[in-house]
A and B are shown apart, each in its own frame.
Chain A
Amino acid sequence: MSFESLPVLEQLMLAMAAMALFTSFVLLEQERLVAAIHAFAWQGALVSAVTTLVAASSGLRHLYFSALLTFALKALLIPWMLHRLSRRLELDRYAEPLRRPALVTMAAVALVIFSYWLALPIMHENLIFTRNIVAVSLAVVLIGLLMMVVRQQAVAQVLGFMSMENGLFLAAVSATGGMPLLIELGVAFDVLVAMVLFGIFFFHIRESIDSLDVDRLNRLTETEEDTR
């Protein structure tokens, strides 16, 4: 496909979406928690930028509002909350080395390829750039999922969860010009409540196992030596 034939605005949109995918990789590989939170904030800002560009190129007014909402929520509020939580939990110097970084990166690359393959059926002649962004956003979702699997630390898992939400939002904006405003508000509200609850849970978990390493939450299993 020829990217040069696309209007400049759409090329810019693709570049921004690609950078959002890149921040997913940064997030996945980042060992230091605070740096990972910053990477997440950048991802939120990029998604918001893509939304603004879509709004500008398509003339959909309500998208300016969702761009603003995303920026406020994903680039400012949630990173700020996570930052504050990690300081209160004394995790601001926390770093967790990734086990087998090469394998994880390869898996993430495979997920990107898989996303492109899944997006193949969405093949309308004139929607070539949309298909690209649907694939990119699916990749962001799946890499967020991968991050939740490979990370053992609760805050890092929440970052993975939130970056999945970023991918979903990117998909909604790029593929369909955004969901109806009411739904978008509902989703944003759910995400915000989820973030508050995650914050409460960090303290509960630390209270019960004296760490935020969720791998140590392993009392409930189906194995026979369960002696409760």
Chain B
Amino acid sequence: MTALLLAVFTPLAGAGVLALTRSLGLAGWINVIVSAATFAASIALARDVAAAGEVAGMTFRVDAFNVYLLALTAFVGMTTSIFSRPYMRHVCQTGRTNARGMRLYHSMYQTFMFTMLLALSTDNLGVLWVAVEGATLATVLLVSLYRTPEAVEAAWKYFILCGVGIALALFGTVLTYFAAQSVLADPAEGLTWSALYTAAPKLEPSIMSLAFVFLLVGYGTKIGLVPMHQWLPDAHSEGPTPMSAVLSGLLLNVALYAVVRLKMLVDGSLAASASPHMAGRLLMGFGLLSFLVAGLFLHRQRDIKRMFSYSSIEHMGLMTFAFGLGGPLATFGALLHMLVHSLTKSAIFVTVGHAAHIAGTQSINNIRGLIRTQPAVGWSLLIAVAAIAGFPPFGIFTSEFLLLTATMKLQPWFTVALLLGLAVAFAGLFRHLHPMVYGPAPEGQKPVPANMIPVAVHLGLVLWLGLSIPGFLARWLDRATELITGGHLL
């Protein structure tokens, strides 16, 4: 329990300290130290959960499903903070923001981490909602940090779309609470997920399915599901790069986590009704649509960060589809995919941040000859994109292979659409990537000081997960699969 409280509340304390820290150099280091402490606490928490099965109490509840996401969130938060220290100093020196902006940035970075960890660890659907909305509020001023007209526009879109989406999710939460009133012995428990889960078969199916539609549209906006994805490419491309890394790597995962938790309730409630797979079918539909549309949009991008945010939408669509498909194999694949996608995508955004500094622009047409100018950045980008496109031997290949196998078993016809989508996305990524990394460098293009250790660690982990999943992780994912579907894989 102590580890859990430390993991969740360290970032909040850090945010307070950082809001008061005036020295820029010091703030960067405090940010790294707080993130590292959070990660250490999350590892201790993971050990507790591994020993006890679950850690619960004080409206928190951590089981096999959320513990690995907690550790992942804290890990990506830590590596991104290591990257952000020199990166943001460079940004500040080039005059794109000032000391006040930097203080806001550091403080909001930790606030964002706090909301993410709170959303993952809470057992209460209301707190989950408050935390996810809090994540929007914490990041919206960071998207507009550079104060360019584009950045303000992106932030406004992000604010309005996610605000509306999350309001609909609150309506769904209210309906869930309403359904629980007549079922639970203590109606005040009506938002506690574990109490609802135990009583799920008794929840009124018609209300729960209505609630799920609202919840899916609401949290789906945050996942970036088409057609509610409009905010995502804008917010990712205009915000500071460390923000893009944590938005893509963490926020989307947390929203998907919320949807899967709610699907578990709805599945329980609908099990005996005429349409037991309603929730799964909805997820499959939204997921497949996002997957295919985002793959096509990859082709016409001109901004490098926009391109990779469409790739995030594509992968989130694939995971949503897999969770909708259900069954142990697809669920295991989707859980693994959440992990490897987060690691790879945050590594990509870190590399892209350096590439944009080298070229002095985010426009794909003006980024050229990265390998000639700075081999470390060029090769990292090439390898990371190969990993995200699903090349063996990286982890994404493994998870996509599992997903395809599961689809082949359960819904063979969808395999065609999936393979087609993967090919389209692959072509879209590589036609832009090739001229950026190869070819001659423009005159006068110089290397920038870059810390490639976070990228190397992330890609190393993804490679490791592709070659052999360590036993403890496989058992974790298997236990999470068992929680979600009731069936084992291993």
Chain B residues with Cβ below 8 Å from A141 are 167-168, 171
Judge whether B174 and A176 touch: CB under 8 Å.
Answer: yes
Contact residues in A for B207 (Cβ distance below 8 Å): 121-122
B134 CB contacts on chain A under 8 angstroms: 190, 193
Query: A204: CB under 8 A from chain B?
Result: yes
- Scoring B174, B207, B300 by chain A CB atoms within 10 A of each residue's CB, the highest score goes to B174
The answer, among A121, A154, A157, A209, for a CB contact under 8 Å with B210, is A121
Q: For the complex, what is the distance from the CA of A145 to the CA of B166, rounded to whole Å?
A: 12
Q: Of A8-16, A86-94, A217-225, which binds chain B?
A: A217-225
Q: Establish whether residues A183 and B191, one from each chain, have CB atoms under 8 Å apart when the complex forms.
A: yes
Chain A residues near B48 (CB, 8 Å)?
none
> How far does the Cβ of A60 sit from chain B's closest Cβ, in whole Å?
11
Contact with B along A112-125 (1 / 0, CB 8 A): 00000010011010
Known A-B contacts A148-B160, A179-B177; A171 and B171 likewise in contact (beta carbons under 8 Å): yes
Contacts of B175 in A (CB 8 A): 171, 175
Chain B 105-161 residues near chain A, CB threshold 8 A = 124, 126-127, 129-130, 133-134, 137, 140-141, 144, 147-150, 152-157, 159-160
Q: Is B314 located at the chain interface by the 8 A CB criterion?
A: no
Q: Which residues 94-129 in A have Cβ within 8 Å of B in the complex? A: 118, 121-122, 124
Q: Return chain A residues, CB-CB under 8 Å to B275.
A: none
Q: Which residues of A contact B153 (CB under 8 A)?
A: 208, 217-220
Q: Which of A48-56, A71-79, A160-168 contacts B (4 or more CB under 8 A)?
A: A160-168
- List chain B residues, Cβ under 8 A from A214: 156
With A171-B171, A179-B191, A220-B234 already in contact, the answer to whether A201 and B126 are too (CB < 8 A) is no
Asked whether, in the complex, the Cβ of A201 is within 8 Å of the Cβ of B156, the reply is yes
Chain A interface size band reads 35 or more
A148–B152 Cα distance when bound, in Å, is 18
B164 touches A161 (CB 8 A): yes
Given contacts A176-B177, A179-B177, A220-B238, are A186 and B210 in contact (CB under 8 A)?
no
CB < 8 Å neighbour of B167 from A161, A172, A224: A161
Asked if A208 and B127 make an inter-chain contact with CB atoms under 8 angstroms apart, the answer reads no
Q: Measured between alpha carbons, how far is A58 from B7 in the docked complex, in Å? A: 41
* Bound: A226/B301 CA distance, A: 10
- Say yes or no: is A1 at the interface (Cβ < 8 Å to chain B): no
Decide if A180 is an interface residue (CB 8 Å cutoff): yes
Which residues of B sit under 8 angstroms from A198, Cβ to Cβ? 159
Interface positions, chain B 163-199, Cβ under 8 Å from A, are: 163-164, 167-168, 170-171, 174-175, 177-178, 181-182, 187-188, 190-191
A67 CB-CB contact with B under 8 Å: no
Check if A201 sits within 8 Å of B159, measured CB to CB: yes
Q: Is the CB of B140 within 8 A of A197?
A: yes
Return chain B residues, CB-CB under 8 Å to A176: 174, 177-178, 181, 187, 190
* Per-position binary interface string of chain B over residues 3-42, scored 1 when its CB falls under 8 Å from any chain A CB and 0 otherwise: 0000000000000000000000000000000000000000
Find out whether the CB atom of A180 lies under 8 angstroms from the CB atom of B191: yes
Q: How far is the CA of A167 from the CA of B155 in the complex (A)?
A: 25
Within 8 Å of chain B (Cβ to Cβ): is A138?
Answer: yes
| Chain A contact surface mostly | helix
Contact A148 B191 (CB under 8 A): no
Q: Is the CB of B167 within 8 A of A200?
A: no
Shortest distance from the beta carbon of B282 to any chain A beta carbon, whole Å: 16
Q: Is the CB of A186 within 8 A of B137?
A: no
Q: Given contacts A220-B238, A222-B297, A222-B300, are A183 and B127 in contact (CB under 8 A)?
A: yes
Q: Is the CB of A175 within 8 A of B174?
A: yes
Is residue A205 contacting chain B, with contact meaning CB distance below 8 A? Answer: yes
Given known A161-B164, A175-B174, A190-B130, contact A208–B147 (CB-CB < 8 A): yes
**Smallest distance from the beta carbon of A78 to chain B beta carbons, Å?**
14
Question: When the two chains form their complex, are residues A186 and B152 in contact, meaning their CB atoms are under 8 A apart?
Answer: no
Is there an interface contact between B297 and A175, defined as CB atoms closer than 8 Å?
no
* B210 x A118 contact (CB < 8 A): yes
Which of A165, A172, A179, A219 is in CB contact (< 8 Å) with B149? A219
Which residues 162-217 of A have a CB within 8 angstroms of B? 164-165, 167-168, 171-172, 175-177, 179-180, 182-183, 186-187, 189-190, 193-194, 197-198, 200-201, 204-205, 207-209, 214, 217
Q: Is B363 an interface residue (CB 8 A)?
A: yes
CB proximity of A158 to chain B, nearest CB, Å: 9
Residue B431 lies at the interface, judged by CB distance under 8 Å to chain A: no
| Chain B residue at minimal CB-CB distance from A164 | B167
Report if A61 contacts B (CB, 8 A). no
Within 8 Å of chain A (Cβ to Cβ): is B98? no
Max chain A CB contacts within 10 Å: which of B129, B178, B207?
B178
Is the Cβ of B156 less than 8 Å from the Cβ of A172? no
Cα of A161 to Cα of B164 in the assembled complex, Å: 7
Q: Is B96 an interface residue (CB 8 A)?
A: no
Known: A176-B177, A183-B126, A220-B238. A157 touches B160 (CB 8 A): yes
In the complex the two chains form, is B152's CB within 8 Å of A179's CB?
no
Does B47 lie at the interface of the complex (its beta carbon under 8 Å from any beta carbon of A)?
Answer: no
B98 to chain A, nearest CB (A): 15
Which interface residue of A118, A186, A190, A193 has the most chain B CB atoms within 10 A?
A190
> Chain A: residues with CB nearer than 8 A to chain B?
118, 121-122, 124, 134, 138, 141, 145, 148, 154, 157, 161, 164-165, 167-168, 171-172, 175-177, 179-180, 182-183, 186-187, 189-190, 193-194, 197-198, 200-201, 204-205, 207-209, 214, 217-220, 222, 224, 226, 228
Top 7 A-B pairs ranked by shortest CB distance? A183-B126, A121-B206, A186-B130, A208-B149, A217-B153, A175-B178, A208-B152
